[in-house]
Amino acid sequence: MNSAPPAGTIAIAGKTVSRLGFGTMRLTGPGTWGDPEDRDGAISVLRHAVHTHGITHIDTADAYGPHTAEHLIRDALHPYPERLLIATKVGMLRPGPNLWKSHGHPAYLRACVEASLRRLQADRLDLCYLHRIDPDVPLADQIAEMRTLQDEGKVGHIGLSKVTSDDIRLVSKELTIAAVQNVLNVANRIDPALELCRDFGIPYVPYRPFDAGSLAGAHGVLAPLHWLLNLGSHVAPIPSTARLTHLDEIVDAARGVV
């Protein structure tokens, strides 16, 4: 790692990592489906993020591709630097491009974790999010399986994605939430979970910081990114891009925000 982490550091899942993370959703094909057109380019972006810019928080999901992003991470970065945090997510079905369906049956969550471990070539998933709470499966069953996987050492820390404040309060009674990942950006500014996470001491990981590119196109990345980073030291955005020049622009915008 050749440079100081952009925008300082934050403690997530037992590691001190860069506050500016990198999301891998846009490294897949159109509709978050299949391989990217330029696979070598995607691998270069991942390596550039980690080895050139010192980004030590990589966010992914088994549903990205599906499976594509996890394969890219392994091919680009394995063996992984000790300080690198790879966060993945489980509990989502992908019927086709741009189609997403939560599936929180305990047996499926377990199968997802086992498969992610193989794809990432990892001994454990340091941070594993429940990608969505499945309304058709009792929440207690979903949480119990994640906790069992943690007890078995297959999952290090557990996060929640796209959740409400009530969800956070409820799950916090059953286990330690390592991070919460919700949509937050200058076009979607209100999320009560932001302040609740601050109160609970939970890192808040906003995804879609540029609203799938629309904010970056209209305003550049500086203002939207600074707005997020200035919301509090517990906020750790995970912008995603497939272009080296865009990655450089994002990192330049984050420098100096601590």
- The DSSP secondary-structure symbol of 184 reads -
Identify the band that residue 4 occupies on the pLDDT scale cut at 50, 70 and 90: confident
Of 131, 113, 155, 127, whose CA–CA distance to 12 is shortest?
127
pLDDT of res. 173: 97
Whole-prediction pTM: 0.95
pLDDT value, residue 160: 98
Please say if the pLDDT value at position 256 is more than 80: no
Does the pLDDT at position 2 exceed 90? no
What pLDDT, in 10s, does the model give residues 67-106?
999 999 999 999 999 999 999 999 999 999 999 999 999 9
Rounded distance between C-alpha atoms, residue 93 and residue 99, angstroms: 8
Token pair listed for 180: 């919460």
Helix and strand numbers, DSSP H then E, in the chain:
9, 11
d(CA 54, CA 248): 12
Ordered structural domains, the chain, with CATH = 9-254 (3.20.20.100)
Q: Is omega for the bond preceding 66 within 30 degrees of 0, making it cis?
A: yes
| 236 alpha carbon, distance to own chain's centre | 10
Question: What integer pLDDT is reported at residue 214 of this predicted model?
Answer: 57
Q: How confident is the model at residue 210 (pLDDT cuts 50, 70, 90)?
A: confident
Per-residue pLDDT tens over the stretch 114-170 = 999 999 999 999 999 999 999 999 999 999 999 999 999 999 999 999 999 999 999
Instruction: Give the Cβ contact number of residue 120 at 10 Å.
Output: 22
Mind spelling out the 3-state secondary structure of 88-147? Answer: EEECEECCCCCCCEECCCHHHHHHHHHHHHHHHCCCCEEEEEECCCCCCCCHHHHHHHHH
The fraction of the chain above a pLDDT of 70, given in percent, is 95
Q: Collapse the DSSP code of 50 into the 3-class scheme (helix H, G, I; strand E, B; otherwise coil) and give the result.
A: helix
Neighbour count for residue 53 (Cβ, 10 Å): 24
Mean pLDDT of the chain: 94
List the beta bridge partners of residue 58: 22, 86
Q: Which residues are catalytic?
A: 64
